[in-house]
Structure 1
Amino acid sequence: MELSKLKNQWIYYPWLINNDLDHLVHHNDLTDSRINGLGVVLCIGQEDNYIKIRANNFELRVKEEGILKLLPKPLFIWNDKIELLKNKNCGTINDIIWHHKDEKYYYFIESNGKQLKKRLNDTEIKKI
């Protein structure tokens, strides 16, 4: 795919540090200790022969060949403030995953300083 067409596209980029795929990440970005793996990411641009992606609170450069799948835009993104419809508790989107079999997003929520054990989908939360 043409790199310029990837801007603002959500993608599934399965990468784990030290998993024989480090060649897919720009060598200067591998030194960021916050990065130990990727999954659902947003393409935000291009730099040289790399695509620039955002995953949660950090950005890095990766090679296009690591893209496994183009994804639809999620209803919620990292750090969105949400309300759980079941009990009206509030929280923040901490992580986003794509469920391949269900073909939908699930969200991990932090509420009252703790990560909820259950992953939630679009129908169980609303943005506040």
Structure 2
Amino acid sequence: MLIGSWGTYNWFEEDGEGFIQAQSLEGFRNLKPVGKLFQCVGIDGEYIEILYNKQKFKVKPELFKQTPSPTYKFGEKVRIKSKEVMGIICDINWHSKEAREMYFIEVNGKKKSTRYFNEELCNVEDN
């Protein structure tokens, strides 16, 4: 069952525009989807609906590769274990070589450039 699952959608321009519904194409291009983790939230005819943060796109299922669900979700409050810094998950990407998710967080409204893995973060409630 695809709905509810997470995965990558590594679409390149060279793959052709036919994989992306016309109304989703510009936004999907601007997102630069390669390496990002999407959640499949629906099926609409020949397309699946995938969600990245609050952005929804309709794409053909052929390029959707399922991955394990990420530990943390978009908008979730986390703390960096090595520091007393708290932030909000704003980007979730897939590290192909290590086959696991990595996160980027926003602190005080600004995205940090450092990537974090599960073991480097904890829920704010888990202090």
The alignment's TM-score, normalised by the length of structure 2, stands at 0.86
Give the superposition deviation at 1:118: 1.3
Residue 86 of structure 1 pairs with residue 64 of structure 2: no
Q: Structure 1 residue 30 and structure 2 residue 25: aligned?
A: yes
- Kindly indicate whether residue 66 of structure 2 is the aligned counterpart of residue 57 of structure 1: no
Please state if 1:77 is matched with 2:73.
yes
1:35 and 1:56, CA in 2 relative to 1: closer, same or farther beyond 3 A?
farther
Once the two structures are superposed, what CA deviation does each residue of 1:65-118 show, in whole Å capped at 9, x if it has no partner? 122x21001001111111111112110111111111111111011112222121
The secondary structure found in structure 1 opposite 2:22 is: coil
TM-score normalised according to structure 1 size = 0.85
Give the number of the structure whose residues are more often helix, by fraction: 2
Contact 1:14 1:37 in 2 (8 A): no
Whole-Å separation in 1 of the counterparts to 2:7 and 2:113: 25
> Deviation of residue 32 (structure 1)?
3.7
2:6 matches 1:21: no
SS at match of 1:42: strand
Structure 2: runs of 5 or more not aligned: none
Once residues 28 and 37 of structure 2 are traced to their aligned partners in structure 1, the CA distance between those partners, rounded to angstroms, is: 19
Gaps of 5+ in 1: none
What number of residue pairs does the alignment pair up?
A: 122
